[in-house]
Amino acid sequence: MQTRQKLAVLVIHGIEVDDPGLYDTAVRLLRQHFAQHAGAGPDTLAVETVNWASVLEGAEKDLLARYASADADAYWKSLYDSVRTVNQGHESALVPMMLRLMRPSLRGMDLRYPGLRWMLVHFVGDIIAYQTNPADPDVYTGIHRKVAEALGRLRQQAGDTAPLCVIAHSLGSVIASNYFYDLQAQRLAGRDIIEETVRAAQGSSPLERGETLSHFYTLGSPMALWSLRYPHAELDQPVQVPAPELAGHHPGLGGRWLNFHDEDDVFAWPLQPLSAAYHAAVEDRAVRVAGPLFSWTPLVHPFYWSDDAVMRDIGTSLAGAWKQLSSAAAVAA
């Protein structure tokens, strides 16, 4: 029984270009540190990723194409390639990337600083697009469908009731919080409040319903900024971690919400100061990410995924959860 039980790990990116290799370094480090501390094989972690950037990529490229000729394609490609290199943890790649972004003009495009405009479209554009819009909910619901589909794949790997651990970076932390909060609020309300196409993509297993949510790791989270959307709210209802139903599936397992933030990362905010409820729900953990070139600058935001210390902390935490889970399974046997 012990060898068959798995931990289910869902990984969600933040503001980002569509990058199939985005999680390679993070997953490798995570499995490595988990195996070292758990005394179990790295395949004990069932890992599934949510690549939601594809929901917006087409619209973002179409917007840029309206303002530039096909001559710009090679330049746009060089920027995509630069971001993907940085995503692998190559800090030195930021220097040529910054030089490309600061290019003042481009043949076939009248507007100045095309690289900075490209960055705004892909990164600030993600934030603007991911807002609830009752008149046109396609982006919001499209992203949430990606989460639902990934949870379905994760259930196939780990089983219906595997403990669920979520790792989310940047805007992905807001997406994850919204997604699981909606599931919890729907159960509490006793009626459907989630958009129909998202519900259609959601499976019926406890894992897919978020009932086994045990651990939540937020990296470089701007969630505090989202409180500005609710200036008169008390912010007294953060997503519950662990989920209230977890004890029924895995008695004694428990869980935690760890919020990793680098003090030089202007996108990242501690969450405890938001309210008494967040102070009780979240453990803020200050970290230093990136290497000597940029660790002291606001440019550290992309480097949580590739930071060995951050992935070690998460891997160690998951190993502790695994030991609790396997001990309970041994007692039950």
Domains and their CATH numbers in the chain: 7-54+137-332 (3.40.50.1820)
Closest CA to 32 of 22, 47, 21: 47
On whether the CB atoms of residues 168 and 175 are closer than 8 A, the answer is yes
Residue 330 CA to residue 333 CA, distance in Å, equals 5
Q: What is the pLDDT of residue 78?
A: 94
Mapping DSSP to helix (H, G, I), strand (E, B) and coil, where does residue 19 land?
Answer: coil
What is residue 185's DSSP assignment? H
Contact (CB, 8 A) for 320 and 259:
no
Distance from chain centroid for Cα 238: 17
Dihedral sign from CA coordinates of 295, 300, 305, 310: positive
**Burial of 80 from C-beta contacts in 10 A (0-12 / 13-18 / 19+):** middle
Please identify which residue in the block is written with the tokens 């939540």: 216
Contact 87, 73 (CB under 8 A): no
Burial (0-12, 13-18, 19+ Cβ within 10 Å), 111:
exposed
211, 246, 268, 270, 297 from 320: Cα distances, Å: 20, 16, 26, 24, 33
pTM of the model: 0.94
In angstroms, the Cα distances linking 232 to 80, 166, 175, 219, 229 are 40, 29, 22, 27, 9
pLDDT in tens, the chain (333 residues): 344 689 999 999 998 888 888 999 999 999 999 999 998 888 899 999 999 999 999 999 999 999 998 889 999 999 999 999 999 888 999 999 999 999 999 988 999 999 999 999 998 899 999 987 766 778 999 999 999 999 999 999 999 999 999 999 999 999 999 999 999 999 988 888 899 999 999 999 999 999 999 999 999 999 999 888 887 677 889 999 999 999 999 999 999 999 999 999 999 999 999 999 999 999 999 999 988 888 989 999 999 999 999 999 999 999 999 999 888 766 665
- Note the pLDDT of residue 332: 60
| Chain centroid to CA 249 | 25
Which of 195, 186, 174 lies closest to 130, judged by CA? 174
